Each structure stands twice: as C-alpha cells, then as structure tokens.
Amino acid sequence: MKGFIRSFGYALAGILYAFRTQRNMKVHFAAAISVVTVGLFLRLSPSEWVDVIFAIIFVLAAECINTAVEAAVDVSSPHKHPLAKAAKDCAAGAVLLAAINSLLVAYFILWPKILKVFL
C-alpha cells in the first residue's frame, strides 16, 4: 500500500515539475482556470462539463508527456540527432492536437452560450 500511495506522490511531483519548468503548461493551466470560470458563469450541464473537463485534462496530460519526452531525449541524446528532433516534434505535435481539440470543444459548447448572453 505504501508503494501505491508513493506513486501518487511521484505523479504529483511530475505534474508540478512540468508546471514549474514549462511556460506552456502555465499557459494551459491559466486557460483551464479561465474556461472553468466561464463554464460556472454559463451554468454548463453535467454532460457539457464532462466534455470540457476531458479537454482540459487531455491538454495538461499531453503537456506532461511532452515534457517527459523532451527530458528523456535530452538525457539520452545530448547532441543534435534527427531522431531526437523527430521525438520532440511529435510530442509537441501531440500537445498541439490536444489544444486544437480543446478549442473545438470550447467553440461548440461555450461559444453558443456566450452568444446567448451577449445577444
């Protein structure tokens, strides 16, 4: 049981490392707080919250994975190598895809509700 609980500590340490060291993780986190605030104001339905929270967690998880890939590549390949670049680019691409997904979720869920408030 101790090992199981300890693994949560390691996972939290990884998330905090990404937050402390990665500018984009801070940007994604700020965006997440903004979206949750807007969602509370717009009184999203439970199913809408599921979609929004999933999109947020998907982006944050992708950023953590990107950070892990970058760190692993930097340790294993300190010199420039085409495969190291490919690994980093693919990990960054995954974050971009997750961010595009979150923008689409915001567009389809939040935008119509925002328009109703202001029109």
The CA distance from 61 to 7, in Å, is 17
Does 63 show up as a binding residue in the annotation?
A: yes
Does 116 show up as a binding residue in the annotation?
A: no
Q: And the tokens for 12?
A: 């939290």
Q: Helix (H, G, I), strand (E, B), or coil: what is residue 61?
A: helix
Give, in degrees to the nearest 5, the angle at Cα 73 between 72 and 75.
65
Helix, strand and coil percent figures for the chain, each rounded to 5: 90, 0, 10
Does 88 show up as a binding residue in the annotation?
A: yes
Catalytic residue among 35, 63, 73, 99: 63
Does 89 show up as a binding residue in the annotation?
A: yes
Catalytic residue at 48?
Answer: no
List the catalytic residues: 63
Q: Which residues participate in the annotated binding site?
A: 10, 63, 70, 88-89
Q: Which residues participate in the annotated binding site for ATP?
A: 10, 70, 88-89
Q: Which residues participate in the annotated binding site for substrate?
A: 63
